[in-house]
Structure 1
Amino acid sequence: MNPDSLDQLTIALSPSSQALLAAAIIIMIFAIALGLKTEHFSFLRSDPKLFWGGLAAQLIGLPLMTLLLVTALAPHPSIALGMIVVAACPGGNVSNFMTWSARGDTAYSVSLTAGSSVVAALWTPAAILFWSALYPPTAELLDTINFDRLSFVIQTTVMLAAPLSLGMLAARYYPAAADKIRKPLALFGAGILAVVILDGFIRLTGALLPAWSLILIPVALHNGAAFALGAGVGRLLGANVARRRSLAFEVGIQNAGLAIVLLLAQLKGLGGAAAIAAVWGVWHFFSGGVMILLYRTIDSQKAHRKRT
């Protein structure tokens, strides 16, 4: 498949599949909100520079770096759009697990995830429009598909803000019930999401497989640059080793599931963009595993040198 054909490929979903996708992300955000506690924002009081600096790296640094990357690589418009949408989405709970596995500061990781989740409802739709408008090919692409920007902002904000607010209220007034249902709800939502997306991409494998290099190379470069950005900002903030690792994962691991939902349900299912988000969602497990192995190897070598 040539790049122009990839740009023209539309991943169409039935109304029922679109409803399931929206339901999946609402359930997952509600489940995340059920787990938000006051102590998750402790870094806001104890080390505000580290908290706000980490959020800035996610919310501003990553999209800005993505804009520079697409300008340098000049990918075809739908691929660039997919990269921008992924960069504008908040991090997910996967980063917390990877931080723990890499012997990072899990409390700091959870604090950043909580912060990005809270602001995502208002930030994500506005960020997607803002950064897409700064790159002429994606701005033109959105005009070509007659994209309704106001409707997108309203629908996305409601879809993100409503479950977030309800989940935080439930966690505040019914903490025992919230703790009990949080994990099952998160798994249920993730299961719905996985089934719908897998079904759609199995049907399109034949069309997307010839374009694997057009998709995988930008994803790998983008993800690697995101990890480097997080670690680099950690150094600039004067963070210790464990917190630099946390920030690397917070910036490097994005909520690709949300990106896929937005692209399929509200951004016309553009083939290149949706494929970027889907491949990112798989790739970051591989790259995150490599990062964990690297960090643990470094720790083992340091421990060995101390013993000798």
Structure 2
Amino acid sequence: MEAVAIDDLRVVLNDEIRGAIALILIGMMFTVALSLRLEDFHAVRRQPVRILGGVLAQILGLPLVTMGLILIISPPASVALGMIIVASCPGGNVSNILTHFARGNTAYSVSLTAISSVSSAIATPVSILFWSSLYPPTAALVHTLHVDAIPFLVQTLSLLALPLAVGMLVAAKFPDTAAKMRKVLSPLSLLSLVLLVAVGVQQNWNVLIAAGAIVVPIAIIHNASAFALGAGSARLLRLDVARRRALTFEVGIQNSGLGLLILLSQFDGIGGAAAMTATWSIWHLISGGALAGLFRALDRVKKSDTHKAI
């Protein structure tokens, strides 16, 4: 498919689904906030270089690497926008799960996720606007959508910051209530997102298939670069093995579901960008799971070699 054609594709959603997107986005951020604890942020004082270095690798390093990839690959404008949106999102709870499975430092992973989630209320919309303005085709595409910076920032900040603040307040003041709510809302928000994506895919199957040939290889390269950045940053920070694994997953696993919701609610459902974020949402689970399995296998081999040496 030609670049111009993919940029013209649109994910068509009715008013009911658009309303559901806003509600799911609010619910998702509220649920994330319910799991945040003050202890997660105390790590900044105890190990500032490790924490801040890891956070910067994600909120600054990944968009920078993404822009480098965009300049090298020269993807269609809408696909580049999808890459930028994904790179601008915070890490998700999936990174904590994979870190635990890979025998990484889960506490370090949780602290990174907590800080990136809170900072995303401001960092994500600002990052999207800034980096998209640096690639002329994407800047022109965003301009044709009449995305004004101030309204976009205010709307996105409201959708992200308000539920985040309320959720953190509930978690701090009523921890038992927050724990009970989290047990219900976590699977509910995930199920809602899955159902929304399923309906969107069903209604826009032709759009996603048409964009797939271009998007899939780019998503794989982009995700591999994110994992490499996480691992490389961990080396530069001189982290131990467990923390290196945690940072690798934190940068390589993005909250692309959040990115997809922002895209559909604020960017007119651009087909190429939607296909990019949706593909990333699937692929990073596959690649992340495979990498976690590889880490566990390496541990078994190392343990076996140690026993033989004894």
Q: Which TM class, normalised by the smaller chain length?
A: over 0.9
- 1:162 aligns with 162
SS of corresponding position for 2:13: coil
- 1:231 aligns with 231
| TM-aligned CA deviation for residue 25 of structure 1 | 1.5
Indicate yes or no: 2:21 matched with 1:7. Answer: no
**Which whole-Å CA distance do the structure 1 matches of 2:172 and 2:252 have between them?**
30
- 1:221 aligns with 221
Indicate yes or no: 2:142 matched with 1:142. Answer: yes
| TM-aligned CA deviation for residue 235 of structure 1 | 0.6
| TM-aligned CA deviation for residue 213 of structure 1 | 2.1
Deviations 1:194-217 (CA, angstroms, capped at 9, x unpaired) = 212211112222332243220101
**Which whole-Å CA distance do the structure 1 matches of 2:221 and 2:133 have between them?**
22
Amino-acid identity (%): 46
Q: What amino acid is aligned across from residue 302 of structure 1 in structure 2?
A: K
Q: What amino acid is aligned across from residue 154 of structure 2 in structure 1?
A: I
- Contact 2:99 2:246 (8 Å CA) reproduced: yes
**Which whole-Å CA distance do the structure 2 matches of 1:176 and 1:208 have between them?**
43
Deviations 1:189-246 (CA, angstroms, capped at 9, x unpaired) = 2212221221111222233224322010110000000000001100100100010000
Indicate yes or no: 2:249 matched with 1:241. Answer: no
Deviations 1:19-69 (CA, angstroms, capped at 9, x unpaired) = 111111211111111111111123212211000000000100000000000
SS of corresponding position for 1:95: helix
Deviations 1:77-110 (CA, angstroms, capped at 9, x unpaired) = 0000000000001111000000000110000000
- 1:128 aligns with 128
**Which whole-Å CA distance do the structure 2 matches of 1:137 and 1:3 have between them?**
11
**Which whole-Å CA distance do the structure 2 matches of 1:89 and 1:211 have between them?**
22
**Which whole-Å CA distance do the structure 1 matches of 2:76 and 2:193 have between them?**
27
Deviates more, 1:142-151 or 1:234-243: 142-151
- 2:31 aligns with 31
Indicate yes or no: 2:41 matched with 1:41. Answer: yes
Give the RMSD, CA atoms, in angstroms: 1.0
**Which whole-Å CA distance do the structure 2 matches of 1:100 and 1:244 have between them?**
13
Q: Which runs of 4+ in 1 moved over 6 A?
A: none
**Which whole-Å CA distance do the structure 1 matches of 2:193 and 2:169 have between them?**
25
- 1:256 aligns with 256
SS of corresponding position for 2:147: coil
- Contact 1:219 1:276 (8 Å CA) reproduced: yes
Q: What amino acid is aligned across from residue 234 of structure 1 in structure 2?
A: A
Q: Residues 267-282 of structure 1: matches in 2 within 5 Å?
A: 267-282=267-282
Deviates more, 1:109-118 or 1:181-190: 181-190
- 2:203 aligns with 203
Q: What amino acid is aligned across from residue 153 of structure 2 in structure 1?
A: V
- Contact 1:23 1:189 (8 Å CA) reproduced: no
SS of corresponding position for 1:123: helix
- 1:20 aligns with 20
**Which whole-Å CA distance do the structure 2 matches of 1:5 and 1:20 have between them?**
29
**Which whole-Å CA distance do the structure 1 matches of 2:171 and 2:277 have between them?**
31
Q: What amino acid is aligned across from residue 169 of structure 1 in structure 2?
A: L
**Which whole-Å CA distance do the structure 1 matches of 2:263 and 2:300 have between them?**
42
- Contact 2:55 2:116 (8 Å CA) reproduced: yes
TM-score (norm 1): 0.98
**Which whole-Å CA distance do the structure 1 matches of 2:117 and 2:45 have between them?**
18
- Contact 2:211 2:275 (8 Å CA) reproduced: no
| TM-aligned CA deviation for residue 136 of structure 1 | 1.2
Unaligned runs of 5+ residues in structure 1 are none
**Which whole-Å CA distance do the structure 2 matches of 1:211 and 1:260 have between them?**
16
**Which whole-Å CA distance do the structure 1 matches of 2:207 and 2:278 have between them?**
15
**Which whole-Å CA distance do the structure 1 matches of 2:51 and 2:42 have between them?**
9
| TM-aligned CA deviation for residue 2 of structure 1 | 3.2
TM-score (norm 2): 0.97
**Which whole-Å CA distance do the structure 2 matches of 1:171 and 1:152 have between them?**
28
Q: What amino acid is aligned across from residue 96 of structure 2 in structure 1?
A: N
Deviates more, 1:142-151 or 1:66-75: 142-151
- 1:194 aligns with 194
Deviates more, 1:269-278 or 1:11-20: 11-20
SS of corresponding position for 1:134: coil
**Which whole-Å CA distance do the structure 1 matches of 2:204 and 2:34 have between them?**
36
- 1:63 aligns with 63
